[in-house]
Chain A
Amino acid sequence: MIHVQKSDAQGNAQILGNQQFDVEMTRAAQKGVILTTEKIVDPEELAAEPERTTIPGFLVKAVVETPGGASPCSCHPYYGVDKTEMRRYMTLTQSQGGLREYLANTDESHAQDEVTK
């Protein structure tokens, strides 16, 4: 499972900013890739700059449109690390009870995310 900034409904995708190991992981995933993406765009938008589209849709099993899906970690250039939320996560998840409290009280406004493909 990897999170990208931009993909089309077929899973052709762009990682903006630094690539880290994510592109290699898409090649290595034997059962396929599940993409979460900040937004699903028209294929024409990606086709206008194919040199940035480093993940081909044929490697991808499912695409989930998930704005803010990397939060509280960062998604360059849309948002940085949310340090306050990160501290809350690290404090609460020290225990099973805290983990439950964290999950119960965490914004799930992205829960309506649409699955394509």
Chain B
Amino acid sequence: MGNRLASLPEHVTRAGNQMAVTLSRLIEDGEKVFHGVNSPLPMVAIFLARKRHAPNCSLIEVAGSVDPEPRFMPNSTADPELCHGAASMFYNPDMYDLFARGGVDFAFLGAAQLDKQGRANLSYIGDPFHPKVRLPGGGGGAVIMPQVKRTVIWRTVHDRRFLVPRVDFSTQSGNLSHVVTPIALFEKKSTGLEIASVHPGHSMDDVIENTGFELEHPSVVAQTPAPSAEELRVLEELDPDGVRFSEFRL
């Protein structure tokens, strides 16, 4: 695995580390935080937050536990390793009950398409009866997104196929807070998704060119702080195998 990590292109390691720390910084200390299946970057981001600025956040694992102490970052984010050393078990029905009662503060969810109003599509692309692509579905997203206090959506690709004027189908929508891509951080405002900051090495023009909906162009474009040396050190220690890079297409 070490060899695979060394052979990753520099733009992937840079984007992966930037996304991991940007996701991590959105978590506030003391929050009850959830990540789902197929979520390597959020998983690493939550463990980073727990080791850094949010030691008292409670991690509710889709694997069925609370506050585990995994010995390594598994490739699957529903791996039994994510129950190792857990403070308690907390299975999926418990988790959904907690969402329904407004008891979860923060959830990371994915999307294949996303529009400015924060509607996320994980169902199909094209004609519903003859779809061009049949997507895997939203899992619990349609229940989670309107019930959790804050949702953050991430995707390791930033292009006009992802960020569209209008989703082909709205699988889930609700309390969207931020969106993190390899080049920028969006914030959901009353007007819809707008740029909060652009990652180092990228420009507002890159963002506009690769975003399929209209954006306000701020007079001064904020830059996302780069990962600090300390954040990078903890990331390396947490995830020496580079599971956080596994969502990038090489």
Contacts and interface: CB of A to CB of B under 8 A. Distances in A.
Say if A and B assemble together.
yes
Interface of A: 17-21, 23-24, 74, 76-77, 81, 83
A20 B78 contact: yes
A81 B80 contact: no
A23 B92 CA distance: 10
Interface of B: 63-65, 75-76, 78-80, 82-83, 89, 91-93
A114 B89 CA distance: 34
A18 B65 contact: yes
Given A18-B82, A74-B79, A83-B75, 12 more contacts: A18-B65, A18-B78, A18-B83, A18-B91, A19-B64, A20-B64, A20-B78, A23-B91, A24-B92, A74-B76, A76-B80, A81-B76
Contacts of B93: 24
A77 B84 CA distance: 12
23 contacts: A17-B80, A17-B83, A18-B63, A18-B64, A18-B65, A18-B78, A18-B80, A18-B82, A18-B83, A18-B89, A18-B91, A19-B64, A19-B91, A19-B92, A20-B64, A20-B78, A20-B92, A21-B92, A23-B91, A74-B79, A77-B80, A81-B76, A83-B75
Contacts, number: 30
Contacts of A24: 92-93
Contacts of B80: 17-18, 74, 76-77
Given A18-B80, A19-B91, A81 B63 contact: no
Contacts of A81: 75-76
Contacts of B63: 18, 20
Nearest to A18: B64
A92 B93 CA distance: 36
B100 to A, nearest CB: 15
Contacts of A23: 91
Contacts of B82: 18
Contacts of B78: 18, 20
Contacts of A74: 76, 79-80
Nearest to B76: A81
A83 B79 CA distance: 14
Nearest to B37: A20
